[in-house]
Every structure is written in C-alpha cells, then in structure tokens.
A = this chain, B = another copy of it.
Amino acid sequence: MELKPIAERFILHWGEMGSRWGVNRTVAQIHALLYLAGRPMDAEEIALTLGVARSNVSNSLKELQSWRLARVVHLMGDRRDHFETSTDIWELFKLIVEGRRQREIDPTISVLRDCLGNPAIGDEDTGTEQRIKETLEFIEVLTTWSEEMLRLQPETLMKAMGVGAKISRAVRRKD
C-alpha cells in the first residue's frame, strides 16, 4: 500500500514525463503504479497509494482503458473492480504508439489531404503546396513503416533494429 522509495521515484518521474508529452500526470502515475505492482489493484487502493481523490482515479482509469493500457479484472470473492496493465514493456509501447496514431496522426493526415485536395491550394504562395505535400508524404512513410515494425515480435524487432543499425554503419562509411 505504502510506496517504497524507489517505486515512488519511478512513478513520480513517469508522471512528470507524462505531463511533458501531453498525458495527464495522474493518468501516467496510475499506469506506472500498475506496471510496477504487476498485480491487479482496486481504485481505492490506487487512490490511497498515490494520495489522489477517488474520482480522479476513476476518470484516469477510464482514460487508460480507452488506450487499452488498463483492463478490468475480478478477483474471486471481491465485488470491486480491479485494474491491471501489461508488464510487457514492448506491448505497452505498441499500445501507446497505436493510440497516438489514431488520435493524432490520422487526423493530421486527413487535414493535410484535405488541404492538398482543396482547389484553393492554387492561391497559396509558391512552395507552400510543395511543403504540405512533403509533410504528408513524410508522415505517411513514417506511419506505414512503424506499423510494419510494431507488428513484429519483440525479439524479431530487436533483430531488425540490429540490422538497421548495421545498414546505418555500412552506409555511413560512404556518406
């Protein structure tokens, strides 16, 4: 229940990082707590452990569930909802990337496509159209590729990154 010092440090830092990346601090803290705990916790216990209001926990858990970063589980003989997260860091990373893509990248792609499809694009300054086009292409390449990568097994991905690094080194010699 009471946090041990190192877990506390980890959780506080994670909350801080969340803030910097546009994630509510409490949301990030709860996720870090569940991750470190590695076991299901009920909302009350989470609230007490982190020293935040019960309602705050409720809303934050809903947010985490919308990212599929937390799920409800039930313990035998206990009426309360318990919440857990994956302890597989690769899986967590994938969920976060996927969530961000859906929420932010996809809408951005729509906007850029819309801009380029709009006849009024002709009225813009020279170069503007070109740069919007390049931006769209860039985002599309990056997302396609990251989707491919994230579909891999972690071990394979590791290997692929090794290959990537090797290509990198090989090419740099010629750079």
Which segment, of A56-64, A65-73, A76-84, A165-173, faces chain B?
Answer: A165-173
A37: chain B residues within 8 A (beta carbon):
125
Number of this chain's copies in the assembly equals 2
Tell me, yes or no, whether A149 is within 8 Å of chain B by CB: yes
* Contact call A152/B124, Cβ cutoff below 8 A: no
Do A138 and B90 form a contact, CB below 8 Å, given A6-B124, A19-B22, A35-B131? yes
* Contact call A134/B36, Cβ cutoff below 8 A: no
Which chain A residues in 116-175 approach chain B with CB under 8 Å?
118, 120-121, 123-125, 127-128, 131-132, 134-135, 138, 141, 144-145, 148-149, 151-153, 156, 158, 160-161, 163-165, 167-169, 171-172, 175
Other contacts beyond A6-B118, A156-B167: 11, CB < 8 A: A6-B115, A7-B125, A9-B115, A10-B112, A17-B104, A35-B131, A36-B125, A145-B164, A153-B175, A160-B171, A163-B167
